[in-house]
Structure 1
């Protein structure tokens, strides 16, 4: 029976498509002497026919024919049943559509409410940002030369790392103040692996370690607690500065402002091999480093990528207690 119904449906479909081009009456021959006649006055009925249960209708017709029941009455009953089911489906579809429309209107109203709220001046958003870059310093307007200055550093390995809690306060549609607190680490890895930092009565000196060992690296590091205040022009007027992994962001933003840091700790580390054994010599102390650092931070971003440059206005070491060096750092913001 199922195969017969499927065949009838395929034949009916082909006949209907043919009738759309030739006539409004479709004749479907069945067996040897039987046929079904479809009269379609309005072609929009085709959409209704899609939802009819033809298999159930034919089973009902055949059952009534075997019982000598009027085929006309049988057909009418089957069609009436399908009409009832179709009307119920239409009511269900209309209800679902109205519900979807209401949800869409609610979403649009909520988005409009959020947009107006986000553009309110004085509103603040908090986020955690990470700085990753490299350190160096400037002496007499230039970077130190490894041939002349023992304190010259390698850019690769002289890492600058910062963890910051940043608040972003809107002052106007495209203008924000980014202010925050954080911890920053200076790492200065010297060009010469056997450089040692020594404290003397007159200050700090950079000397070479003359021991017969295989030197690996030497560095000076310092940890600071930092406070910053950066006015930012954001042409994309986003309330939160996007992260690199967000995949979106404003078109362009730029900021420039001051920062102040207080030194929490500092140390030196010399790594070498002696008779094949790896040795480390660490020494903690101030090394005449300035307790305060203050300078200017420049930020620039496009879409979801931001870069920074920090320049210390004051010298790295206490005046007269070490070389005149102004630390500078640059890198990327996550």
Structure 2
């Protein structure tokens, strides 16, 4: 590698450096730190007061960032964003950490974990006491970013636009009918405050019946909700269906992607938490294909606990499509899904009070982690 001279220029020093490079003579203080025969650090300031202000900067982190970015073809480099290294309340603002090829990165929702296997081998619990906490904000907007998130909430179904009545055999328990989704999401910046969130995921509907004495069965013509034998005392009866989905949601993010980042580093492990800023909302759509379904019935009979589980299609629709709404404020993200198509195939749903096949549409809502 050719001789390398690293000029560490803080934001308050740039005008002086510009004059120095143009050949203008200006009284200034210069500090030269000889590292070896081929390398040196040169600091040019207007006066000694500016030189004293270097105590407010994290020079070590600055050099580490330079070392990560320099290559054999680079002989000269300037740091123009000195604010990224200013100490504030014993916390240091830093730029994003660049991950190397031999390191591992895991992202889930607003949490990112980076692991350097070589350094972790020498890590012990005492190192956690010397951990370093960093908090900073960023306005950086990559064209497309990727992350994993988890939808957790409740689901139900609407019977011709309203929730089933309490005495209906297919009335769903309000609490306990969980909706879970695992999503691989991309976020593409379109322009201004407009972003597009799109990706693939797997989700599970769990419809838990209000009256656990009903058993969900596949009849000859339609799905049936039948009373259990009088010798059985039901404690749980539910229908579960899983789907693989594609989702596209245009988002209006009025913070324009601005994020607050908290990073904790210890040894070869760095944990970063991303918190979005401001208000955002969006409405889009999704389409999915059913990959599994089963019923589960738990009950007591003659004092013994029993559990029956049956896998079948139960006349469920193989495809689903619907509308998705998302709204967020800072670190909180809420969602709501509504299936435009029916849960069961036409004329295959459970019988309602009028003796007709009910038209049920799935609905879910909750929080995104």
Deviations 1:159-183 (CA, angstroms, capped at 9, x unpaired): 0000101000000131100001111
d(CA) in 1 for partners of 2:238, 2:57: 65
The total of aligned residue pairs comes to 240
- Unaligned 5+ runs, structure 2: 1-47, 63-77, 85-93, 97-136, 263-271, 350-357
Partner of 1:167: 186
Equivalent of 1:319 in 328, 331, 346: 346
1:234 correspondence with 2:269: no
Partner of 1:187: 206
Note the 1:268-307 alignment, pairs <5 A. 268-307=295-334
d(CA) in 2 for partners of 1:94, 1:201: 86
> Offset of 1:276 from its aligned partner?
2.3
1:333 correspondence with 2:355: no
d(CA) in 2 for partners of 1:151, 1:101: 65
SS in 2 for 1:282: strand
- Unaligned 5+ runs, structure 1: 1-91
d(CA) in 1 for partners of 2:247, 2:224: 32
Structure in which a larger fraction of residues adopt strand: 2
Partner of 1:118: 140
Higher RCO (CA 8 Å, separation ≥ 6 residues): 2
1:259 correspondence with 2:286: yes
Partner of 1:134: 154
SS in 1 for 2:336: strand
CA contact (8 A) 2:150 2:180 kept: yes
TM-score by length of 2: 0.59
Equivalent of 1:217 in 209, 214, 236: 236
Note the 1:98-117 alignment, pairs <5 A. 106=79, 108=81
CA contact (8 A) 2:138 2:258 kept: no
CA contact (8 A) 1:136 1:158 kept: yes
Moved over 6 A (4+): 92-96, 99-102, 112-117, 239-243
SS in 2 for 1:118: coil
d(CA) in 1 for partners of 2:157, 2:318: 17
Structure in which a larger fraction of residues adopt helix: 1
d(CA) in 2 for partners of 1:141, 1:218: 24
> Offset of 1:155 from its aligned partner?
1.5
The higher radius of gyration belongs to 1
